[in-house]
């Protein structure tokens, strides 16, 4: 809902079915046509809606796509495996699932390109994308500290960028299939890198 334009208070209310149809059509087109091939006209046609109804809600294609794709605010906590490496491994696996999801993987590069000249929006993407991850990462570190497995002064931001950056580099840039071992190896490298500082 972040990028939607506000509705007026008087007059005929917006039809929620129209809203849903637009978002649904956007996701569908993203997945089987790609970000570049997606057009506002195409979304309108697929949703059985006038262009007007779209421009009334979103200021453009990037804003529409962002809301359509990155709305799932899943905050499932990381289960306690008993070890820091185990917890981080699961966290990385979640990260892979998230970035490798069809809609997200296809949309992200295009969004970054379209928001290239808007640092504020890029920053917002990063926040929205990593807010949940960061919260869970902090919790995982707290558990490790409680176990005495970890000294204080954990560089959370660096670790966040390392984990997310590495995974994103695979999925977004290389597009290579993520091997099942990657999360474990990556987690092991980062965790041992932190613990023996």
Partner DNA sequence: TGTAATCGAAACGGAACGTCTGGTATGGTA
Partner DNA sequence: TACCATACCAGACGTTCCGTTTCGATTACA
Q: Which DSSP category does 196 fall into? A: T
> CA–CA separation, 110 vs 173, rounded Å?
12
For 144-154, b where at least 16 C-beta lie within 10 A, e where not — what string? Answer: beeeeebeeeb
For the bound state, the minimum distance from the C-beta of residue 180 to DNA, rounded and expressed in Å, comes to 38
Q: How far is the CB of 113 from a second copy (least distance, A)?
A: 4
Residue of 4, 14, 86, 110 interacting with a second copy (CB under 8 A): 110
C-alpha to C-alpha distances, 44 to 5, 6, 47, 81, 91, nearest whole angstrom: 17, 20, 5, 47, 38
Which of DNA, a second copy, none sits in contact with 131, Cβ below 5 to 8 A by type? none
**CB under 5 to 8 A by kind: which of a second copy, DNA, none does 155 bind?**
a second copy
Indicate whether 166 belongs to the interface with a second copy (CB under 8 A).
yes
Q: Which is nearer to a second copy, 14 or 132 (CB)?
A: 132
**According to the binding rule CB under 8 A, does residue 175 interact with a second copy?**
yes
The answer to whether the Cα torsion of 109, 113, 115, 117 is positive or negative is positive
Min separation Cβ 116 and DNA, Å: 15
Backbone angles phi, psi at 176, to 5 degrees: -75, 150
Rounded least distance, CB 92 to DNA, Å: 35
- Dihedral sign from CA coordinates of 55, 59, 62, 65: negative
Total site size for a second copy, rule CB under 8 A? 45
Q: What is the DSSP string of 117-167?
A: T-HHHHHHHHHHHHHHHHHHHHHHHHHHHHTT-S-S---HHHHHHHHHHHH
Contact positions toward DNA, by CB under 7 A?
Answer: 7-15, 18-19, 37, 39-42, 48-53, 55-57, 60-61
How many residues are present in the chain?
197
Judged by beta carbon distances under 5 to 8 A according to partner kind, the member of DNA, a second copy, none in contact with residue 19 is DNA
The least CB distance from residue 33 to DNA, in Å, is 10
The contact set with a second copy (CB under 8 A) reads: 34-36, 106, 109-110, 112-114, 116-117, 119, 122-123, 125-126, 155, 158-159, 161-162, 164-170, 172-176, 182, 185-186, 188-194, 196-197
């Amino acid at each position: 809902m972040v990028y939607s334009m506000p509705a007026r208070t008087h007059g005929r209310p917006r039809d929620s079915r129209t809203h849903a149809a637009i978002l649904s059509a956007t996701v569908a087109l993203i997945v089987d046509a790609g970000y570049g091939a997606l057009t506002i006209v195409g979304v309108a046609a697929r949703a059985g809606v006038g262009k007007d109804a779209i421009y009334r809600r979103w200021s453009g294609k990037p804003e529409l796509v962002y809301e359509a794709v990155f709305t799932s605010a899943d905050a499932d906590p990381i289960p306690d495996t008993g070890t820091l490496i185990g917890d981080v491994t699961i966290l990385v696996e979640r990260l892979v699932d998230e970035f490798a999801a069809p809609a997200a993987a296809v949309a992200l590069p295009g969004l970054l390109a379209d928001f290239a000249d808007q640092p504020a929006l890029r920053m917002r993407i990063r926040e929205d994308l990593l807010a949940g991850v960061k919260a869970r990462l902090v919790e995982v570190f707290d558990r490790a500290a409680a176990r005495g497995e970890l000294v204080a002064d954990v560089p959370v931001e660096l670790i966040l960028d390392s984990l997310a950056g590495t995974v994103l580099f695979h999925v977004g840039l290389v597009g290579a299939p993520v091997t099942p071992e990657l999360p474990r190896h990556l987690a092991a490298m980062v965790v041992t890198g932190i613990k023996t500082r």
